[in-house]
Structure 1
């Protein structure tokens, strides 16, 4: 059985992106591949394989189910770090499997301590501190109590990392706030060092911070969107553009190409309404290509009458409302379009390209949202 569309994932593009990140951070810091959100829509199983080929041996997930998928997909002895959700009942299994996880409140810390004592295996933890993001992390006023719990339980806790998360490093208007966070994080680091508590690694940098704030690189950087070939924002690119080589002004390469095919053709007379409701009325006799992809696949309804695809190397506009499983596009001015012809939803065809950011321009979705909406059931195929 074949699916109505497929996603092609370029291993060579990922390798180029990691090489570019390496050129920014040097050879010492660990690159952790962030694979939350089904690897930003690229598929965790596929991206673990691709990342391993690029030399990555550290993976960051949001939740425990993602961590298990990384574990089962790994062909190498990788480090796996959960940055967000896990259930207390899962902690024994996580400890036994050597999966690392954030502790950002005393409830989780105490659970890790109690279970590590019970199973007789050290819990591999990353202590997240609150520096201004105001979502998760130990507050500055908790530092003495936190220090005491870490010191008293040193025999059953392995302190893999001290970390924080920045509140919008990709946007210049947030940079004063980011600089304040960096100062507070440094105060946390100094406090623990003064009290003889050391961590294996220090890490704070997401993709944007890695690109814009060299002082945040420390021992490990958490690379998400940049690894997949996208700038965190256009503003991020503009802020570092002057540092880039004129021979390679856009060093991040998109991994993902989304392909489908023409399912059928429909002749529509002038004055006819197309699809559900009255969202589009033909102003001339038209030929429409019906494409077997819709909002159930991640091609959002907000692309109705605005989205574009590539057929025969030409842009074709979505006509009418995007349906659950299909869209219609205008091929009136194309010659010899046939059922089975290739359709590019994201990617290149000839000298033209449909970018993920083009969806943002027409639908007000950011890259991250568009990518993570891609249905998990669409086949992901690794290509060179």
Structure 2
């Protein structure tokens, strides 16, 4: 019996992929499935995207790429955080493409005598990883002379989700000026994340949407027809009466001011339902909104169901849809002072993922 689980609706991921590919035109969409596909399950999502014609995938770590290869992903798999010497043999064995972003990384690869496909990352303003653009001639020459196949040049946008930001144009212009001397048939140039598909003038050869594949929207304007793929569900463990003056949960941060019907539900911060949501969030019970009350515990939390009168075992939706009503992950993110990326990625491995519409 499933007490708490995430339902992943694969047709919504298919829809989002098609929408983004249509928007991107001739630019090929990369399926960004790092961090277990933002908590949605990397293998099921990658196989779903592969069946839609996706030929390029991106992860952060080498072990993520190996997992995809073993699961039957045939396309190019890009390791965006690069690799260390103890991982070089696996790059070759599993035909993985690594990103190179610093001189020490090049020295390691040349010293180890490994020859694998690489993408060069340049830093155009994110200041996270990458070579300064003026170092690109040296990087390209050093890699090609050492026998590496330079398949692509990339960067990452810092403010693509802020339409009108001058940083967008500045990074885009610097990237394409830097890329121009090296552009040739087959060379991939890419800089766009989810938001960039809608704010950049030139998307390049590839675009790397992450959050939008899963139905998250980085913009305040929610007019894009994205469909959230995940619904976070649990069950009621107990329904009880609480009387005026009685406190609920640790520290009695909530004290009843009237007689209430309170449901204890099987969801806590060990499941990824953050303690920061205490006395702030709402859930769906039998198609009606119910406020969360008291501090969220490790395995449980409480909700006010006085107006609903549910029973033990009834379904509770923490975010997602139920009977025509919806709580978006972005609503929880705002209450937590974060972004929906973190909400998705923070759901614990002990929460089973169930796939529908395969």
Q: TM-score scaled to structure 1, two decimals?
A: 0.88
- 2:30 equivalent to 1:44: no
Change (3 A) 1:375 1:259: same
In the TM superposition, residue 297 of structure 1 has moved relative to its aligned partner by: 0.7
Structure 1 segments of 4 or more deviating over 4 A? none
* 1:34 corresponding residue in structure 2: 32
Contact 2:47 2:73 survives alignment (8 Å): no
The CA distance in 1 between the partners of 2:8 and 2:49, in whole Å, is 11
Contact 2:69 2:94 survives alignment (8 Å): no
* 1:172 corresponding residue in structure 2: 163
* 2:76 corresponding residue in structure 1: 79
Contact 1:298 1:375 survives alignment (8 Å): yes
- 2:281 equivalent to 1:281: no
- 2:208 equivalent to 1:219: no
* 1:207 corresponding residue in structure 2: 194
Bigger mean CA offset, 321-330 vs 45-54? 45-54
Question: How do 1:155-304 and structure 2 match up within 5 A?
Answer: 156-172=147-163, 175-193=165-183, 200-215=187-202, 217-235=203-221, 237=222, 249-304=223-278
The CA distance in 2 between the partners of 1:358 and 1:101, in whole Å, is 36
Contact 1:4 1:293 survives alignment (8 Å): no
* 2:316 corresponding residue in structure 1: 343
Contact 1:192 1:198 survives alignment (8 Å): no
Show structure 1 runs of 5+ residues with no match.
238-248
Contact 1:159 1:198 survives alignment (8 Å): no
Describe the SS at the equivalent of 1:347.
strand
Contact 1:113 1:123 survives alignment (8 Å): no
* 1:108 corresponding residue in structure 2: 105
The CA distance in 2 between the partners of 1:96 and 1:348, in whole Å, is 43
Show structure 2 runs of 5+ residues with no match.
none
The CA distance in 1 between the partners of 2:323 and 2:231, in whole Å, is 14
* 1:94 corresponding residue in structure 2: 91
Contact 2:82 2:99 survives alignment (8 Å): no
In the TM superposition, residue 358 of structure 1 has moved relative to its aligned partner by: 1.3
- 2:287 equivalent to 1:313: yes
The CA distance in 2 between the partners of 1:302 and 1:100, in whole Å, is 39
In the TM superposition, residue 3 of structure 1 has moved relative to its aligned partner by: 4.6
Q: Which residue among 114, 119, 124 is the counterpart of 1:126?
A: 119
The CA distance in 2 between the partners of 1:302 and 1:147, in whole Å, is 47
The CA distance in 1 between the partners of 2:141 and 2:15, in whole Å, is 45
Q: TM-score scaled to structure 2, two decimals?
A: 0.94
The CA distance in 2 between the partners of 1:273 and 1:85, in whole Å, is 51
Describe the SS at the equivalent of 1:39.
helix
Q: What do the CA deviations read for 1:267-289 (whole angstroms, capped 9, x no partner)?
A: 11111011111201011111111
The CA distance in 2 between the partners of 1:199 and 1:192, in whole Å, is 11
In the TM superposition, residue 308 of structure 1 has moved relative to its aligned partner by: 0.8
| Aligned residue-pair number | 357
Contact 2:278 2:294 survives alignment (8 Å): yes
Q: What do the CA deviations read for 1:35-75 (whole angstroms, capped 9, x no partner)?
A: 122211112122122222322222101111222222223x3
